[in-house]
Amino acid sequence: MQRVGVFVCWCGSNIAGTVDVQAVSEALKNEPGVVFSANYQYMCSQAGQEMIKTAVKEHHLTGIVVCSCSPRMHEATFRKTAVAAGLNPYMVEIANIREQCSWVHKDVTAGTEKAIILGKAAIAKVNLNTPLTPGESPVTKRALVIGGGIAGIQTALDIADAGFPVDVVEKQPTIGGKMAQLDKTFPTLDCAACILTPKMVDVAQNDKIRIFSYSEVTDVRGFVGNFDVTIKKKARFVKEDVCTGCGACVEKCPMKKIPNEFNLGMDNRHAIYIPFAQAVPKVATIDPDACNMLKNGKCGICSKVCAAGAIDYKQKDEIIEETYGAIVVATGFNPISMEKFDEYAYSQSKDVITSLEFERLTNAAGPTAGMLVRPSDGKHPHTLVFVQCVGSRCESCAEKGKEYCSKICCMYTAKHAMLTRDKYPDTEVYVFYVDVRTPGKNFDEFYRRAVEEYGVKYVKGMVGKIVPEGDKLKVQASDLIANKQLHLDADLVVLAAAIEPDHSARPLATMLTASMDTNDFFTEAHPKLRPVESPTAGVFLSGTCQGPKDIPETVSQAGAAASKVIGLLVKDKLTGNPCVAIANELTCNGCSSCERVCPYGAISYLDKEFRMPDRTTKIRRVASVNPAVCQGCGACTVACPSGAMDLNGFMNNQIMAEVDAICK
C-alpha cells in the first residue's frame, strides 16, 4: 500500500477563491492510502516545496498528490521536489484544480465538490504508480548521410568539421548530384562547377569523411544513437583504391554508343566511364549492361591499357555494415517525366527539351561544349520559347503532374532566358508564365534585369500546344494581357518541368520508418519549429527530399541538419522518456496488431521460449518494445486484443482507477 501525501494549493485566491481548500484537504484525508493532507497558500513556492519535503520525511510518504494548477505548469517542479525528498519523480500526480476547476466554475459548492473528485482521481492513480526510471542508451559518434548532392556534401562537411566521422552514401559513381549538372547559378551567375567542385574535393580530402559512391542503403535497423545500417557497394569492376582516373581505359573502350546519363542522353559515353572530369571519387566505372567483357567475356581492352592494373572483371558487390548515431536523408530530386504531356510534343521533337537538358546544352563541359544549338540539326536557334509550370501546380493531372509549386523554375528560367540573350543577342526569347514567383534576396531584381536589360519577352499566359512542322515548332499560346492567342514559330522550346523526390526516397522512408507526405517528400517533425528533423528520432532531413528548394536554401538547411546531428552526437548517452509502452510477454499473442499502429517502428518480435506448468517448453512469438524509440502515445495499447500492451505512467488500471474515482 502506498503512503500518500495530499497537498492542496490555494494559489493565492486563484484556487481558494472558488474552492474551499480546507474542505478539500479534509475530504481527501480519508481516501485510501492517504496518510497526510494539508493545504498551503503557494505550493510551488520555496516554502510550499519545503512543506512537501518535510512531510515526505516525517510521514514516510511514497506518493504525492498536489492539487494545484495544470500539470503542464508545475508537474516538472513537483517532480524535482520529490527527487529532492528522496522519491522517484514519477510518484507525483497533479490534480488540476485551477485551470480545470476554480477558473472555470463560479459556484463554490460545485467547485469544491469537483476539486475533491479530481483529487480522489489523482489519489486513485498515484496508488497504482510505480517508480519509473528512464532508459539510457549510448550514442555511436558517427553519422550517415544518404545522398551526395550539395545537401549531403554540405551536411557531411559541417558534421566532419565538428570532429565527428561521417559516411556519405551516393548511388551514382560520383558525388555532386544535380548541382554538378548545372551551368550557372542564380542570382549571381557564378558557375556551378566553380563553387561545387572545391567542396567535392574537400569531402574527398577530409579524413573524417568516407564516401561510398555507387552504393545504396539496403537495410536500417536500430534507433536513435544506434542505427545498424547495411550498405551495398555495387561492383564497379574497377579497384577504387588503385584507379588513378587517368582515363586511358575510357579512351580505348570500343563500346561508345551508350547514352550518357550525365548529359541526359544528349551524347554518348563508353561502357567504362568517368561521369565528368571533376568526379569524386575520380575513378572509372564499368557499366555491366554495356560491357562486352562482362556480358560475353570478349574484349578486355581496358584491362590491357590500365597501367595501374585497376580493372577487376570479377569484382562482386560489397556489403558494408556500420553503426551510426544519426542519419541524414539528402536524397534530392529529379525532374518529372515529360512523356505524358502530349501537347508539348516532348517525345516527338528533339528540339523540345527540359530545363535540365538546357543546362547541359549551355554548359561548357556539356555535349556541345556550351554552344547553344538545336539537338535535332545542330543549328543555332533564333526563337526560343520557355514554358513555365509544366507539371507544377497541376491539380487535375495527378498521373502526370504535381499539385505543388516546384519553386525553383521561375528563377532558373529567368537565368536561362537572360544568359541566352546575353550570349546570343540575335535571339528572340519568350517566357510564358502563370505567375512569376521570385521571393528571395536579389531574386526579383534578377528577374527584372532579364526583362529590362536583356529584353526577354515575358508573356502572361500558358502555351496550349506545340506542333513540330518542318524544322520549326509551331507554338500556340495565350497572351492574357493582350487578350490574344499567339502563334509563334520557335526553334527551341524549353519546358520548366516540375521536380519530384528521387524514387529511392520511398523505400528508404520505409526502412527508416520516417513518414512522407502524399508527394513522397519527407515530413518534418514540426513544419515550423523542427523543420530539419524527421518525426523519427535520429533521422534528419537535408535538401529537396523535404520539399522543393534552391541551392542557397538547400545549403542552409544542410547546415541546420548538421547542427542537429552534432547536437545529438556530442551526447554520450541519451536519456529516454520512461513513460513508454511495455509488453507483457505472458499474455502477448504475437499478432502484430501493435506493430502495425506504432508510428515509430518501436515494436519488434522475438521468438521466446516459455516454460509451461507441465514442465514442457513452448516457443512463442512475443512483442518487445524498444524504450529508446517509443514515444509513449499508447496507440498499441488499444490495438492489442489481449491487453498485453500497457503504457508506463498511463497504465490501463491507472486510467480505470481514475474513471472509477470520478464516477463513484
Partner 1 sequence: MQVTEYKPLIVAFCCNWCSYAGADLAGNNRLAYPADVKIIRVPCSCRVNPTFILRAFQRGADGVIICGCHPGDCHYTSGNYYTRRRMATLFSMLDFLGIERERTRVEWVSAAEGAKFAATMNEFAQKVAALGENKRLEDLRCKK
Partner 2 sequence: MKHNNDLREEILRMSGVDTAKCMKCGKCSATCPAYDEMEYHPHQFVGMVEIGEIEPLLSSESLYKCLSCFACVDRCPRGVAPAKVVEAVRLTAIRRQGANHMTANDVPLILETDTPPQLLVSAFRKYTK
Partner 3 sequence: MQKITREQLIDQASELLANGTVSTVLGWGAGEFGYDVTPTLFKTAEEMQNGFVFNDFCGANFSKYLVSKTKTLEGKLLVFLKPCDTYSFNQLLTEHRFDREKVYVVGIPCEGMADIAKVKEISGEGISSIASDGDRIVVTTLYADAPVKIDARNVLAERCIHCKSKKHVAYDTLLGEEGDVVASARFDEVTRLESMTPDERFAFWQNELSKCIRCNACRDACPACTCETCVFDNPKSGVENKSPSNSFEEQMFHIIRAFHVAGRCTDCGECARVCPQNIPLHLLNRKFIKDINTFYGEYQAGAEVGSRSPLTDYTTEDLEPSEIFVGRNEHA
* Binding residue for partner 1, selected from 23, 80, 99, 624, defined by CB under 8 A: 99
**Nearest to partner 2 of 347, 442 (CB atom):** 347
* Binding residue for partner 1, selected from 467, 599, 610, 641, defined by CB under 8 A: 599
**Which does residue 106 bind out of partner 1, partner 2, partner 3, none, counting CB within 5 to 8 angstroms by kind?**
partner 1
| Least Cβ distance, residue 524 to partner 3 (angstroms) | 17
In the region spanning residues 101 to 120, those forming contacts with partner 1, defined by CB under 8 A, are 101, 103-107, 110-111, 113-114, 117-118
The interface region with partner 1, picked from 187-195, 504-512, 543-551, 627-635 by CB under 8 A, is 627-635
> Which amino acid belongs to residue 132?
L
DSSP state of 178: G
| Least Cβ distance, residue 613 to partner 1 (angstroms) | 28
252: cell is 580505348
Angle (CA) 381-385-389 rounded to 5° is: 145
* Binding residue for partner 1, selected from 74, 79, 98, 360, defined by CB under 8 A: 98
**Which does residue 397 bind out of partner 2, partner 1, partner 3, none, counting CB within 5 to 8 angstroms by kind?**
partner 2
Task: Give yes or no for residue 638 binding partner 1 (CB under 8 A).
Answer: yes
Q: Are 344 and 352 in contact (CB under 8 A)?
A: yes
**Nearest to partner 2 of 479, 550 (CB atom):** 479
Residue 173 belongs to what H/E stretch? none
**Nearest to partner 3 of 426, 607 (CB atom):** 607
Task: Give yes or no for residue 310 binding partner 1 (CB under 8 A).
Answer: no
**Nearest to partner 3 of 30, 617 (CB atom):** 617
Residue 232 belongs to what H/E stretch? strand 226-233
* Binding residue for partner 1, selected from 2, 49, 62, 637, defined by CB under 8 A: 637
| Least Cβ distance, residue 638 to partner 3 (angstroms) | 9
Task: Give yes or no for residue 597 binding partner 1 (CB under 8 A).
Answer: yes
Residue 348 vs residues 342, 344, 352: alpha-carbon distances, Å:
9, 9, 8
**Which does residue 401 bind out of partner 2, partner 1, partner 3, none, counting CB within 5 to 8 angstroms by kind?**
partner 2
589 burial class (0-12, 13-18, 19+ CB within 10 angstroms)? middle
Q: Are 421 and 455 in contact (CB under 8 A)?
A: yes
- Per residue in 151-175, is it b (16+ CB within 10 Å) or e — as a string? bbbbbbbbbbebebbbbbbbbbbbb
The site for partner 3 (CB under 8 A) is made up of 586-593, 596-597, 605, 616, 618, 620-621, 639, 641-644, 652-653, 656
Provide Rg for the chain, Cα atoms: 33
For strand 190-191 and strand 184-185, is the pairing parallel, antiparallel, or unpaired?
A: antiparallel
Task: Give yes or no for residue 76 binding partner 1 (CB under 8 A).
Answer: no
Q: Are 115 and 95 in contact (CB under 8 A)?
A: yes
577 burial class (0-12, 13-18, 19+ CB within 10 angstroms)? middle
Strands (DSSP E) contained in 310-441 are: 318-324, 326-329, 333-335, 352-354, 383-390, 428-433
**Nearest to partner 1 of 114, 270 (CB atom):** 114
| Least Cβ distance, residue 444 to partner 2 (angstroms) | 20
Q: Are 360 and 266 in contact (CB under 8 A)?
A: yes
101: cell is 476547476
Other CB atoms within 10 A of residue 28 CB: 24
**Nearest to partner 2 of 110, 398 (CB atom):** 398
In the region spanning residues 118 to 157, those forming contacts with partner 1, defined by CB under 8 A, are 118, 121
First to last CA, the chain: 21
| Least Cβ distance, residue 465 to partner 2 (angstroms) | 6
| Least Cβ distance, residue 405 to partner 1 (angstroms) | 20
| Least Cβ distance, residue 433 to partner 2 (angstroms) | 9
**Which does residue 83 bind out of partner 2, partner 1, partner 3, none, counting CB within 5 to 8 angstroms by kind?**
none
Positive or negative torsion for Cα 168, 169, 173, 179: negative
> Which amino acid belongs to residue 96?
N
**Nearest to partner 2 of 194, 481 (CB atom):** 481
Q: Are 7 and 43 in contact (CB under 8 A)?
A: yes
For residue 77, give the 3-state DSSP assignment: helix
**Which does residue 464 bind out of partner 3, partner 1, partner 2, none, counting CB within 5 to 8 angstroms by kind?**
partner 2
| Least Cβ distance, residue 337 to partner 2 (angstroms) | 16
For strand 143-146 and strand 617-625, is the pairing parallel, antiparallel, or unpaired?
A: unpaired
Task: Give yes or no for residue 579 binding partner 1 (CB under 8 A).
Answer: yes
Q: Which residues pair with 221 in a beta bridge?
A: 228
| Least Cβ distance, residue 659 to partner 3 (angstroms) | 9
| Least Cβ distance, residue 600 to partner 1 (angstroms) | 8
Nearest residue to 135 (alpha-carbon basis) of 572, 570, 579: 579
Positive or negative torsion for Cα 506, 509, 510, 516: negative
The site for partner 2 (CB under 8 A) is made up of 343, 389, 393-397, 401, 434-435, 460-465, 476-480, 483, 485
Q: Are 67 and 47 in contact (CB under 8 A)?
A: no
**Nearest to partner 1 of 569, 625 (CB atom):** 625
Q: Enumerate binding residues for partner 1 (CB under 8 A).
A: 70-73, 96, 98-101, 103-107, 110-111, 113-114, 117-118, 121, 515, 523, 535, 579, 597, 599, 631-635, 637-639, 647, 649-650, 652, 655-656, 658-660, 662-664
